[in-house]
């Protein structure tokens, strides 16, 4: 008795395939014959799970949904270094300013669906971590909408005025009317006193976001 197994391309589901040699482990490779299919070759079984089709998309999706590096590695049964490398390769697709706010045109009539992206008040704070050792510090400066806690913009650098000025330049097109910060001197030196308020009462959202970041990194 003969048995047949239907094989389809994991990307375009086309069944027009051809054999394309074997791997070092002796597993059969297949090549999709669809001209516009981005799949080069694939196998039905992989020695390492991270090579399976769709794993990289799952890594990014889990990161967006607040899963830590070790959480993702444990759930997908892959190495945590693979998770880190996959996320680093997505660096070119990141943007420093929220595109919803960046494309908002105040000169046009305001639509109801755009009311949520109007930013009148912002919370600004800085948070540090390190690379290799604690003497090699890296600071994250970021701003969130005071009402919705949506990230408006961010920059990485040192805890210097010049880095905050870069963040301020990114926020300038949003015409923010009020800034809430802590008592770090850079804010007082570069923000107008009329639009600047110091204190913890109105920075609870961004402080909570900082706590979330520390928790995720710790994992």
Q: Average pLDDT in the 110-114 region?
A: 48
- Closest by Cα among 102, 95, 94, 145 to 124: 145
Give the residue with greater pLDDT, 197 vs 99. 197
Give the residue with greater pLDDT, 162 vs 87. 162
**Sign (positive or negative) of CA dihedral 70, 74, 75, 81:** positive
Check residue 138 and give its pLDDT: 87
Cβ distance 195 to 178 under 8 Å? yes
Q: Average pLDDT in the 186-201 region?
A: 92
CA distance 159 to 162: 9
| Band (219; pLDDT cuts 50, 70, 90) | low
Whether residue 27 is predicted with pLDDT greater than 70 in this model: the reply is yes
Check residue 115 and give its pLDDT: 45
Check residue 114 and give its pLDDT: 41
Cβ distance 62 to 71 under 8 Å? yes
Cβ distance 129 to 137 under 8 Å? yes
CA distance 69 to 219: 7
Whether residue 160 is predicted with pLDDT greater than 80 in this model: the reply is yes
What's the whole-model pTM score? Answer: 0.53
Cβ distance 96 to 154 under 8 Å? yes
**Mind listing the pLDDT tens digit for each residue in 41-89?**
777 777 777 777 788 888 888 887 778 888 888 988 888 898 888 888 8
Whether residue 23 is predicted with pLDDT greater than 60 in this model: the reply is yes
Check residue 112 and give its pLDDT: 47
């Amino acid at each position: 008795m003969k048995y047949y197994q239907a094989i389809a391309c994991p990307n375009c589901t086309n069944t027009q395939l051809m054999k394309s040699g074997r791997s070092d482990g002796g597993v059969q490779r297949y090549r999709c014959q669809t001209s516009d299919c981005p799949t080069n070759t694939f196998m039905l079984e992989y020695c390492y799970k991270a090579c399976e089709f769709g794993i990289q998309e799952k890594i990014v999706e889990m990161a967006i949904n607040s899963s830590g590096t070790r959480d993702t590695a444990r759930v997908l049964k892959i190495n945590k270094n693979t998770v880190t490398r996959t996320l680093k390769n997505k660096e070119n697709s990141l943007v420093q300013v929220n595109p919803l706010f960046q494309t908002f045109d105040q000169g046009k009539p305001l639509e109801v669906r755009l009311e949520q992206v109007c930013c009148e008040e912002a919370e600004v704070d800085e948070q540090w971590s390190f690379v290799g050792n604690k003497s090699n510090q890296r600071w994250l400066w970021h701003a969130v909408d005071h009402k919705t806690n949506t990230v408006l913009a961010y920059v990485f650098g040192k805890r210097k005025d010049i880095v905050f000025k870069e963040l301020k330049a990114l926020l300038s097109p949003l015409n923010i009317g009020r800034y809430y910060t802590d008592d770090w001197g850079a804010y007082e030196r570069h923000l107008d006193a009329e639009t600047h308020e110091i204190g913890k009462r109105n920075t609870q959202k961004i402080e909570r976001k900082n706590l979330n970041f520390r928790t995720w990194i710790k994992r």
